[in-house]
A and B are shown apart, each in its own frame.
Chain A
């Protein structure tokens, strides 16, 4: 370990730390020679993160140099309490240290950096037009059963657009499903008409509707 002005080089990772630091802000190793060689109790990151809540971010690792002198006395005076950040504890006379990940997190908090808000992963990629079109076509396929050919067209369109929405993971999953269902009902009604068209007369009637349009 070497000292250079106000910086201490960590013997473990080689990173520079303020001289007032007792533990490396990068790897968590002790910087104090007097406490070297003490047995180290290693704990899992998850356990320590759960068991050691942050109480006072200002006393955690990574505090500014001008604040470190104020933080260090706080740490020394406190006994039997878990210091915020959990990097070390006054009870920790055996030289235990907290995992690196926890120290790193506390360092960020103490530095005043805002904790990045964990944004939920968006389900779709922003294209909701397909879902809306699917729903509209599905509704029209039901309403336009009076014109059975329109029911076929809108029904197919509603189903296709709904399937595209679901497969491409666009926004509006509910509307896409509703569009597929309603489009399916429209198609079903069209198929019923086709099934009923068993006689020549009925088929002629169906063809006549095309001529009317």
Chain B
């Protein structure tokens, strides 16, 4: 029933585990921001890697402070998954084509821009 979703979830979980265990502890410097190094200002993606690491290690508040888009993407994914399951297997309506997926992207853009403005105004290390 969830064959496709399982096939997609397994590599995602493996990649997340590999990122937490091997990539980030050993190569954290690789993710330093060039934009900040040159201009001294944080870019819209600053803190994303740290936020992802914090989220994957269970520190959700810390993840939100580093970059709220990571937590938003996780919540949006859960929201979409619940709607998809409800629509396809409980209510048995048309598949996810009716779910307005672009709305998630528009909100993501808003989250990124708002948090970037907040970082510019209040400073970010």
**A interface residues (Cβ-Cβ under 8 A, vs B):** 135-136, 138-139, 142-148, 151, 172, 174-175, 178, 182, 185, 189, 192-193, 196-197, 202, 205-206, 209, 212
Contact = CB atoms under 8 A, between A and B. Distances in A.
A139 B48 CA distance: 13
Interface in B45-86: 45-46, 48, 69
Given A178-B105, A182-B109, A142 B44 contact: yes
B102 A209 contact: no
Contacts of B46: 145-146
A128 to B, nearest CB: 10
Chain A interface main SS type = helix
Contacts of B31: 146
Which 5 pairs between the two chains have the least Cβ-Cβ distance?
A145-B43, A143-B45, A146-B33, A142-B44, A209-B34
B35 interface: yes
Contact of B102 (A138, A145, A175): A175
A90 B112 CA distance: 71
B34 A206 contact: yes
Nearest to B46: A146
B38 A144 contact: no
Interface residues of B, number: 23
Contact of A206 (B36, B38, B48): B38
Nearest to B48: A143
B39 A147 contact: no
Given A174-B102, A175-B102, A146 B32 contact: yes
B20 interface: no
A138 B112 CA distance: 12
Q: Which residue, of B33, B39, B44, has the highest number of chain A Cβ atoms within 10 A?
A: B44
B106 interface: yes
A139 B108 contact: yes
B38 A145 contact: no
Contact of A193 (B32, B34, B44): B34
Nearest to A147: B34
Nearest to A213: B30
B45 to A, nearest CB: 4
B91 interface: no
B37 interface: yes
A145 B45 contact: yes
Contacts of A142: 44-45, 109, 112-113
A193 B34 CA distance: 9
Nearest to A135: B105
29 contacts: A138-B109, A139-B108, A139-B109, A142-B44, A142-B45, A142-B109, A143-B48, A144-B45, A145-B33, A145-B43, A145-B45, A145-B46, A146-B32, A146-B33, A146-B36, A146-B46, A148-B35, A174-B102, A175-B102, A178-B105, A178-B109, A189-B44, A196-B38, A202-B38, A205-B37, A206-B34, A206-B38, A209-B34, A212-B30
